[in-house]
Amino acid sequence: MNEHPKASATPLDSAQLQNLEQLRDDEFWDYARALARQVPAAAQSKDYLECILGTGTCLLPLTTLNEVVLPPHRLSLLPATPEWMPGMVAWRGEAIAVIDLTLYLSGHAVDLSNAILLIANHANIPIGLLVPSIGQTTSMQQGPQDSLFAGKVAGPTSPTGPADSPALAALAALAAPKAPATTRYMPSRTAGVKGMQQGALVLDVPILLADVVQRIETAAFDE
């Protein structure tokens, strides 16, 4: 059986064309289907979960979340923890640290009596993120390099859905506020903020969780 030509977005040269001519009908159509399945890197998208915080909204990649747990949550308080760590909670047979995401990011306390618990993961260690409520999921285009920068709104071609889609409309409505973006997170949390999309903070969850773990360890050591 002839070796299939390598799929490429560049024009085929004469040798590649000759290879195509030598393929059987079934081989040719297998090759054509493989080409059709190729998605340009610039068109790849990621799905994000919208989280409503006390100071605005943020977006978390769905790939970084293991589970969404509805209230109520029974937290066990611990000494020598940062103020934004309200305690530990039992999840799937183990005790995990719980982080008040609004307080961690902005330093502002909010009512968490009916909060949603998002289970994220850092180096195979589950960590809970408490948020007042969650919204819809939305998709964003991702190119070879992330086009989002902190403090800047991505261009109109970033979302995969139309500009008037319900998810984007909700994000735009929640983003309207009038407080400057700098009040949504403290300068010391900048590393965990990947950028902004339609007024919502796009969080870099791996970096954010690594910082959370380091600060918890530092607090315990200093005590």
Can you list the domains of the chain with their CATH numbers?
45-222 (2.40.50.180)
Distance CA 173, CA 66 (A): 28
pLDDT tens for residues 101-115?
Answer: 999 999 999 999 999
For the chain, what's the residue count? Answer: 223
Confidence category of residue 160, pLDDT binned at 50, 70, 90? very low
How do residues 124-138 score in pLDDT, each as one tens digit?
A: 889 999 999 999 998
